[in-house]
Structure 1
Amino acid sequence: MEAKNLSKRWILAFYTPRSSLEACKSAVFDAGAGCYSGRGNYTECCWATFGIGQYRPGNAADPHIGVAGRLEKVEEAKVEVLCIGEEVLNKAIQSLKEAHPYEEPAYYVIKLEEF
Structure 2
Amino acid sequence: MFAQRFSMVFFSPRYSTRSILDHLFKLYPQEMGKIGNYEQCAFVSRGTGQFKPMAEANPTIGSTGALEFVEEDRVELVINDKGNKEELRKAVQELKKFHPYEEAVVYIHKLEDI
Asked if TM exceeds 0.5, the reply is yes
Instruction: Give the counterpart letter for 1:89 in structure 2.
Output: L
1:1-115 to 2 correspondences below 5 Å: 7-29=3-25, 30-31=27-28, 32-37=31-36, 41-85=37-81, 86-115=85-114
Q: CA deviation at 1:63?
A: 0.2
Q: CA deviation at 1:27?
A: 2.6
Q: How far apart in 1 are the matches of 2:98 and 2:17?
A: 10
Greater shift in the superposed pair: 105-114 or 49-58: 105-114
Gaps of 5+ in 2: none
Q: How far apart in 2 are the matches of 1:26 and 1:93?
A: 15
Q: CA deviation at 1:98?
A: 1.6
Instruction: Give the counterpart letter for 2:73 in structure 1.
Output: A
Larger radius of gyration: 1
Tell me, yes or no, if the aligned pair for 2:2 and 2:80 is still in contact at 8 Å: no
* Identical-pair percentage: 39
In the superposition, the TM-score normalised over structure 2's length comes to: 0.88
**1:97 alignment partner, SS class:** helix
Aligned residues: 108
Q: CA deviation at 1:91?
A: 1.8
Q: How far apart in 1 are the matches of 2:80 and 2:56?
A: 37
In the superposition, the TM-score normalised over structure 1's length comes to: 0.87
